[in-house]
Each structure stands twice: as C-alpha cells, then as structure tokens.
Chains A and B, each alone.
Chain A
Amino acid sequence: MAVSVLNPGLSTTVQDAGRPGYYNVGIPPSGSLDQYSSLAANLLVGNGEDAAVLECTYMGPELRFERPATVAVTGADLPPRLGGEPRPTWESFGVEAGDVLSFDFLRSGARAYLAVSGGFDVPVMLGSRSTYALGALGGVEGRALAAGDELPVGDADGAAPGRSVPEALRSTHPKHREIRVMMGLYDHRLTGEGRRAFLDAEWRLTTLADRTGFRYRGAALEFRERVAPFGAGSDPSNIVDAPYPIGSIQIPGGVEPIVLHRDAVSGGGYVMVATVISADMDDVAQSAPNSTTRFVEVDLDGALGARRRRAARLDALREAVG
C-alpha cells in the first residue's frame, strides 16, 4: 500500500486507456475522459501508456504517500500543493514518504489527472484498471475513491522529477469551445429549422455533466411529425431502442442535448442527431458547467483529418516528454 486517501475530493476515480471490446454487452470503454492529459501525466512520471492514473473531477483529493515517488498533475488547471507548498502542473515532482498532496481550487477545465511513478496498481478487470461505477467494475471496488482507501502503486523504474511538457503542448481550457461533430444517425428526424438551431445555438453546459454524459441547454429543437413506429414510443424524440455511439448526441424531448462520453449507456430509445468526432472528445471532457459550446459540422474527411492531427500531437508529446 503506497498512497492513503485522506479526502477523496468530489469524484476521483482510477482510470487508464480504457476497456474496449465489451460494449456489445453494455460495458462501455471507460478510461480517462481526457486521454491526452492522462497520457501526458504518465509520460511525465516515466510510466507506460497503459498505467492507471487518478481522474479528479472539479476538486482534488488529499493523499498521503507512504513511500517516495515521482508524481505529475495535468489536464484541468488544479494547482497541487505538497505539504502546503505550491507545486507546478504539467511537470513531474518528487514526493517523500509521509508527504501530503493536496490541491487548490479549480482555475479552469474540469478534470485533472494525477499520475504516480509505477501507476495505481488496482486489479485488472477485463483488461483494464478503469473504474466503471454504474457496473461496480474496476478501480477501487468499482467506485470513486473514499476516505480511508489505500491505493496500491506498482514498482517504478525510478523516473527523475523535473520533466515537463512544453508550453505549446499543454491543453488550455477556454470558457467557450467549438466542438466538431458529424451529423447523422437519426438527424433526418429533425426539421430543417431544428437542424439549423442545433448547429447555430450557443449551448451552455449544465451541472448534469459526468462520465456518462454531458447535458447542455440553449435551444428547443423541432422534430418532424410522424406516426410513431411500433415499439418506438409516442414522443417524436423516441426511437426503437438502438445502440448509442460513444460521443453521440441525443436529444430527449427535443431539449437539452446530451453528449455521451466514455462511461456511456450503450443504447436506448432517444433520437441521436450527431456524434462528436474522436479528436474532440478530450475537449468535451474538460468542459466545465456553465461554459459554452457550439457544435460545428464536419464531414468524414474533416473528422479523419482532425484525428490525424491529434495523433501527430500525441506523437509530439511522446517525443518531448517520453
């Protein structure tokens, strides 16, 4: 046992690169919502890319280290303190046995990632250490951290502190974002007006934003009249229960679109009109309640181009830090 949880923060979970391959039985990929920042944290402490980190939502935990280690904090701007003294983000630093790590209030973004050399060594479930709380799977007993938890840490090769991510490769967290989407799925159910409103509206993220989904407010969208198909339900926003892509945007009742993230419910009966492209899922993860978003339409080529640019940025990060 190497890290004691004195205070768990608001919602802190063990996450890694995720648990692909079980979505067909309702087990979503899980893993760090902001994979870019999670990778950066691992690289900074000399971990492999599949090591588990802590995802800290809005508020940091208070942790006591029971043995020396190298740690790093990335993602949201959540300033760490070691024994009360400020420490940098996007830069690794050493901790000694008995040191207490705590955090100041969140300045921007939504989710900070804390890596420790050796990685958090909770049991691997279906190929991943990620916490999927709805299914009580992975992480620490399938749930968010609680005070009194003891987190095992794996053996480290002894990465030196003082590594840092160059300024240009650090994520920034503006109050307004443009998130790129591909229209599709059931977007034919929207009227022309409804489709325009979806792409024109300035959507404000509500407080209903968690690992399952992000719910926005900003406009009411109009659906085409129809005779309800057998099994679909009577509301125009209902469909015969269908699979939900990760990143898909559903609009129950035509109000308050929900972007599903990596702990998605895998299917259901609400009409989906678009999907966030894979390159922009990290940005959704760092959206804080009350920040604003516009959904910007791109086509498949645009989405694949963005995916290539993100891959190049990940390579640059590996080059600069790894």
Chain B
Amino acid sequence: MVRRSFGGDDHIFVEFDEEMNLAATFRAMAVTATLAERRIDGVIDICPANVSYQVRFDPDLVAPQELEAELESIEDGVGDGTGFDLRTTIVEVPILYDDPWTRETASRFRSNRQDPEATDLEYAARINGFDAAGDFAAAHAGSPWIASMVGFVAGLPFLFQMVPRERQLEVPKYLSPRTDTPRQTIGHGGCFGSIYSVRGAGGYQMLGITPAPIYDPTQTHPDFADSLVFFKPGFIVKYLPIDREAYDELTAQVEARRFRFRQAPVTFSLGRFLADPDGYNRGLMEVLDGG
C-alpha cells in the first residue's frame, strides 16, 4: 500500500503502512536515501519516519507533480526494500535503569500516571507480563533498536526494537503528558522507545537515564565535532545496562569532555534480518565488539 498526499504546496507525504513495522519503515529509509543521492534542485528536507516519509521542497524550483513522479519511480526501484543495504552506524548507549532522577520526576506527576504506586519501570514490566522490573529491563537491553525517525525536537530518536511483533514491548503513554522530563531520559510509549535529547515535556514512561549527551548545540563534546545531533535516522542502538558507580564514572568523563560513544559502521540488510532476526542481531553485536 502506498498513500501520497501533498502537505500544502511545499511538502509531500508518503505513507507505506498504517501499522508500525520494520519493513515499511526500512522502505521509507531506502527511498529517502536514494532521493538524497539524486540531489534534486529545490528539495529542502528529506525526512524518513515510521512507515512513512516526507519531503519539504521549494515549488518555485521543482514542480510538485514532477517531484511526485520522481518519488514514484524511486519507490518502484526500491521495491519492498529487502534488496537495499543501508549503510549506518551501530552505537552502544549506556543506561541506568530505575535511576533516582526519573523516579523523582515521576513522583511529581502522580496524577498523570496509570499506577502512581509503582515506578514507571515496574508498571511497564507488569503490563508486559514480566514478574520483575529486571526481567523487563533484560528484554529491553537484550535486542537492538533502530532509530526509525529522528525528531519531535532536535536530535530525539524514535527507536523501534528489532524483534518479531510478539516480542515487542508495548506500554501506554502517560494518561496526560508531563511538563518536565530530565534530559537523556530513556522513555517508552506505545511500541516506541526514545531518548529525550533535551529537558522538556513528554508522555513516554520513564525507564532510566543515560549519562551520554545525544544533542550538543555547543559542540564541545568530542562526538559532536561534525554535528550537534548525534542520531541520524537508521542508527542502530544497543543498550548497555550500567550501575550507579559506572554512571557516575561516565558522567565524570562527559563533564571532562572525554566521553566517546562505542560505535561502529555497519550495513543493515532488511532481507537478511527478516530471515533470522536473532542471528542477524548477534552478527550486529559482533560488529560493535570488533569496532
């Protein structure tokens, strides 16, 4: 299924599916990556997203119908995306689950929450059928995630776990959004994970926090020399659970501007992933460990 719509006279929006899934999301990445390579005059922003994508353009430089025809031909060439190799990055993100800062924030928004007596992590574990919060955390950190979309605010990745549908973790968002979320909170809402790039409003359940900055408008941290945003659509994340001692050590490294993400370049193939998700994910880990 392909549904196209103009968003005013200067955006075109394309949706491949109504349901979240990796295949349609990857197809959007493949189409947008191909479009970017063509360097069409008048194309301003190319935004891959979950099961959809959007192109912002200047209709004075490229006629909307011509751009639409170009996209159609790219979509035909990409097909279902299984033949497309995405050159991307795999990165290890340290996470302190059930940390004191998101706990404190959650306690300030009791009436926004489904279960004010439990932590967000305990609630997420219970409604996903886990006996203990630690079991949920193990599933959360056990398989990698792909940044299916980067946005909402600057540099915030939407993360979709690379596991079959029946193993997807699903947690409702807060009953009503918080007005505050600590920077670098790792959240989960619906089937999506996220890392809050800046402090601010939010509706995802708060599972933990990472000491690593992912957005640096001052560009003073070593990983941000080339870009003030760390995540690009298509990045693959593997969480590394850490304890408080490691958290404090990494925070000291961040403050000294010495922290570097452990990361490696990787090529992702949807076809090979779909054939054997767990085996493919193990291979990705080997790339990270060798990198």
In the bound complex, what is the Cα–Cα distance between A26 and B228 (angstroms)?
A: 12
Chain B residues near A171 (CB-CB < 8 A): none
Once the chains bind, are B19 and A240 in contact (CB under 8 Å)? yes
In the bound complex, what is the Cα–Cα distance between A132 and B150 (angstroms)?
A: 17
CB B177 to nearest CB in A, in angstroms, measures 10
In the bound complex, what is the Cα–Cα distance between A132 and B200 (angstroms)?
A: 14
In the bound complex, what is the Cα–Cα distance between A271 and B228 (angstroms)?
A: 30
B81 at the interface (CB under 8 A from A): no
Number of cross-chain contacts by CB at 8 Å: 177
A103 at the interface (CB under 8 A from B): no
Chain B residues near A265 (CB-CB < 8 A): 151-153
Chain B CB count within 10 A is highest, among A240, A247, A300, for A240
- Which residues 42-91 of B have a CB within 8 angstroms of A? 44-54, 56, 59-60, 64
Chain B residues near A304 (CB-CB < 8 A): 9, 59, 64
Quick one: given A20-B45, A246-B11, are A241 and B149 in contact (CB under 8 Å)? yes
- Which residues 209-260 of B have a CB within 8 angstroms of A? 215, 217, 228-229, 231-233
Chain B CB count within 10 A is highest, among A25, A234, A275, A278, for A25
Once the chains bind, are B5 and A184 in contact (CB under 8 Å)? yes
In the bound complex, what is the Cα–Cα distance between A277 and B9 (angstroms)?
A: 6
Chain A residues near B156 (CB-CB < 8 A): 26
- Which residues 259-313 of A have a CB within 8 angstroms of B? 265-269, 272, 275-279, 300, 303-304, 307, 311
Q: Interface-forming stretch among B111-119, B190-198, B272-280?
A: B190-198
What residue of chain A has the Cβ atom nearest to residue B165's Cβ? A230
B208 at the interface (CB under 8 A from A): no
Chain B residues near A229 (CB-CB < 8 A): 18-20
Q: Which of B18, B149, B165 contacts A267 (CB 8 A)?
A: B149
Once the chains bind, are B8 and A24 in contact (CB under 8 Å)? no
B6 at the interface (CB under 8 A from A): yes
- Which residues 215-231 of A have a CB within 8 angstroms of B? 229-231
B10 at the interface (CB under 8 A from A): yes
Once the chains bind, are A303 and B8 in contact (CB under 8 Å)? yes
A147 at the interface (CB under 8 A from B): no
Once the chains bind, are A245 and B154 in contact (CB under 8 Å)? no
Q: Which of A20, A136, A142, A242 contacts B50 (CB 8 A)?
A: A242
Once the chains bind, are A266 and B152 in contact (CB under 8 Å)? yes
CB B24 to nearest CB in A, in angstroms, measures 9
Once the chains bind, are B154 and A134 in contact (CB under 8 Å)? yes
Q: Which of A26, A239, A248 contacts B155 (CB 8 A)?
A: A26
Once the chains bind, are B48 and A24 in contact (CB under 8 Å)? yes
Q: Which of B54, B165, B232 contacts A25 (CB 8 A)?
A: B232
Chain B residues near A234 (CB-CB < 8 A): 172
Once the chains bind, are B154 and A25 in contact (CB under 8 Å)? yes
- Which residues 1-53 of A have a CB within 8 angstroms of B? 20-27
B7 at the interface (CB under 8 A from A): yes
Interface size of B by Cβ–Cβ distance < 8 Å? 53
Once the chains bind, are B152 and A26 in contact (CB under 8 Å)? yes
In the bound complex, what is the Cα–Cα distance between A20 and B45 (angstroms)?
A: 7
Once the chains bind, are B151 and A230 in contact (CB under 8 Å)? no
Quick one: given A229-B20, A231-B20, A232-B18, are A184 and B7 in contact (CB under 8 Å)? yes
What residue of chain B has the Cβ atom nearest to residue A126's Cβ? B228
Once the chains bind, are A267 and B49 in contact (CB under 8 Å)? yes
In the bound complex, what is the Cα–Cα distance between A212 and B73 (angstroms)?
A: 34
Chain A residues near B153 (CB-CB < 8 A): 26, 134-135, 265-266
What residue of chain B has the Cβ atom nearest to residue A239's Cβ? B18
Once the chains bind, are B45 and A24 in contact (CB under 8 Å)? yes
In the bound complex, what is the Cα–Cα distance between A126 and B154 (angstroms)?
A: 13
Chain A residues near B190 (CB-CB < 8 A): 231-233, 269
In the bound complex, what is the Cα–Cα distance between A300 and B18 (angstroms)?
A: 25
In the bound complex, what is the Cα–Cα distance between A113 and B6 (angstroms)?
A: 31
In the bound complex, what is the Cα–Cα distance between A8 and B232 (angstroms)?
A: 36
CB B238 to nearest CB in A, in angstroms, measures 21
Q: Which of B11, B44, B45, B217 contacts A275 (CB 8 A)?
A: B11
Chain B residues near A26 (CB-CB < 8 A): 150-156, 197, 229
Once the chains bind, are A243 and B155 in contact (CB under 8 Å)? no
B173 at the interface (CB under 8 A from A): yes
In the bound complex, what is the Cα–Cα distance between A26 and B232 (angstroms)?
A: 10
A positions within 8 Å CB-CB of B: 20-27, 125-126, 132, 134-137, 142, 181-182, 184-185, 229-234, 239-243, 245-248, 265-269, 272, 275-279, 300, 303-304, 307, 311
Supply 19 further A-B pairs (C-beta < 8 A) apart from A23-B151, A142-B217, A182-B9.
A21-B45, A25-B151, A25-B155, A25-B229, A25-B231, A26-B155, A27-B155, A181-B8, A230-B191, A232-B18, A234-B172, A241-B49, A241-B50, A241-B149, A243-B151, A265-B153, A266-B151, A278-B9, A311-B60
B positions within 8 Å CB-CB of A: 5-11, 13, 15, 18-21, 44-54, 56, 59-60, 64, 149-156, 158, 165, 172-173, 190-192, 197-198, 200, 215, 217, 228-229, 231-233
Q: List 16 A-B contacts (CB under 8 A).
A: A23-B56, A24-B233, A135-B217, A137-B228, A142-B217, A231-B192, A240-B20, A240-B51, A241-B50, A242-B51, A243-B49, A246-B10, A265-B152, A265-B153, A278-B10, A311-B60
- What 7 A-B pairs come out closest when comparing CB atoms? A231-B20, A245-B7, A266-B151, A26-B151, A135-B154, A275-B8, A243-B54
